[in-house]
């Protein structure tokens, strides 16, 4: 496939407008041909449809879809799209459960289409340099601090508080997508405490202790109630200095000296995702790494749930 890949964007919420549309427009791999939304939202006069079934029935030529729906409803939509022979881009988290994502991976392989479980934070500019630096050093300990204001970043998104919505692990899984990429050894949950508002089904904060296969501790602190400065940081102490990834992975500091920085949040992340999606489609392969989702699932399996005050937006 050498011509632009004909793409439909499914689910026209905040992330689709803020990240997907600009990234698609800026790249050359994809040609946006339609949008799909329950509200029937058109972009630039393109055809729009209420659901993927209506899209398929229209006869419009589509090669691939990007699914930006909440994770709770994504599996059935993705399964249908795979059945149509469309390549599928899954916004993170790729599904509500591990079993869903594995089933989609197997279905895509059987159909011969590409499936991409996207982890946008892995495409932040500091991530690969951090991975390379850590690969040559011994990790002693690490700390993940991911604190943001849910009212700012997820306004009116009630789905995030429902079962399968992940709560604070919706952003927390971004941190885990970076940690599972840059840390040289596998790590596992030892203990976890999950603060769950009494009127919600998903946690608003969490404290997790991981340990890797060599015994190094990785502490994780998540909180959706952060006001003022927001924190998206991973600090790793090694036998040869301390590495800090801040601002969600876009700024890399080693021993207090900034090694890489960009002013814009999410600099290059979604263009990077679409570059990767285009590459796997053209290569006829899939990219489905479930390690960040597995880490979250393990936290929920081992975590102690603590009821806290109600959350009202």
State both tokens at 101: 């994502």
Residues labelled as active-site residues: 92
For residue 302, the model assigns a pLDDT of 96
The answer to whether 121 touches 178, Cβ cutoff 8 Å, is yes
Pairwise CA distance, residues 78 & 193, whole Å = 33
Pairwise CA distance, residues 221 & 206, whole Å = 6
Query: Element (H or E) spanning 150, and its range?
Result: helix 150-153
Q: Can you tell me whether residue 16 is helix, strand or coil?
A: helix
For residue 259, the model assigns a pLDDT of 83
Domains annotated on the chain, with CATH: 5-117 (3.40.50.720), 121-264+297-308 (3.30.360.10)
Between strands 139-147 and 205-212, the pairing is unpaired
Each of the 313 residues of the chain gets a pLDDT tens digit; together they read 578 999 999 999 889 999 999 999 998 899 999 999 988 678 889 999 999 999 999 999 999 999 999 999 999 999 999 999 999 999 999 999 999 999 999 999 999 999 999 999 999 999 999 999 999 999 999 999 999 999 999 999 999 999 999 999 999 999 999 999 999 999 999 999 999 999 999 999 999 999 999 999 999 999 999 999 999 999 999 999 999 999 999 999 999 998 865 544 445 799 999 999 999 999 999 999 999 999 999 999 999 999 999 999 8
The answer to whether 232 touches 250, Cβ cutoff 8 Å, is no
For residue 260, the model assigns a pLDDT of 66
Pairwise CA distance, residues 202 & 195, whole Å = 8
pTM of the model: 0.93
The answer to whether 118 touches 19, Cβ cutoff 8 Å, is no
DSSP H stretches of helix in 112-168: 127-135, 150-153
For residue 263, the model assigns a pLDDT of 46
Q: Which of 293, 296, 308, 302 is nearest to 224 (CA)?
A: 308
For residue 265, the model assigns a pLDDT of 44
Query: Looking up tokens 């800090």, which residue turns up?
Result: 244
């Amino acid at each position: 496939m050498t011509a632009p890949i004909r793409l439909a964007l499914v689910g026209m919420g905040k992330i689709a407008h803020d990240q997907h549309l600009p990234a698609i427009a800026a790249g050359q791999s994809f040609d946006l041909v339609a949008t799909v939304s329950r509200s029937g939202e058109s972009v630039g006069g393109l055809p729009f449809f209420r659901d993927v079934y209506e899209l398929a029935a229209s006869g419009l030529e589509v090669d691939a879809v990007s699914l930006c729906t909440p994770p709770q409803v994504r599996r059935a939509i993705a399964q249908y799209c795979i059945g149509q022979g469309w390549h599928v881009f899954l916004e993170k988290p790729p599904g509500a459960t591990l079993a869903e994502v594995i089933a989609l991976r197997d279905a895509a392989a059987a159909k011969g289409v590409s499936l991409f479980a996207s982890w946008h934070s892995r495409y932040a500019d500091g991530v690969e340099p951090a991975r390379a630096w850590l690969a040559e050093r011994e990790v002693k300990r690490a700390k993940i601090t991911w604190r943001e204001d849910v009212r700012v970043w997820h306004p009116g998104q009630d789905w995030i508080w429902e079962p399968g919505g992940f709560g604070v692990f919706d952003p927390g899984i971004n941190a885990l997508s970076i940690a599972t990429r840059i840390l040289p050894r596998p790590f596992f949950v030892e203990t976890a405490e999950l603060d769950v508002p009494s009127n919600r089904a998903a946690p608003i904060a969490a404290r997790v202790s991981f340990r890797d296969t060599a015994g190094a501790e990785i502490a994780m602190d998540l909180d959706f109630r952060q006001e003022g400065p927001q924190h998206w940081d991973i600090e790793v102490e090694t036998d040869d200095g301390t590495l800090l990834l801040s601002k969600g992975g876009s700024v890399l500091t080693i021993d207090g000296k900034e090694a890489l920085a960009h002013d814009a949040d999410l600099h290059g992340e979604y263009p990077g995702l679409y570059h990767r999606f285009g590459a796997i489609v053209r290569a006829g392969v899939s990219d489905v790494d479930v390690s960040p989702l597995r880490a979250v699932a393990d936290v929920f399996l081992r975590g102690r749930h603590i009821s806290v005050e109600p959350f009202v937006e």
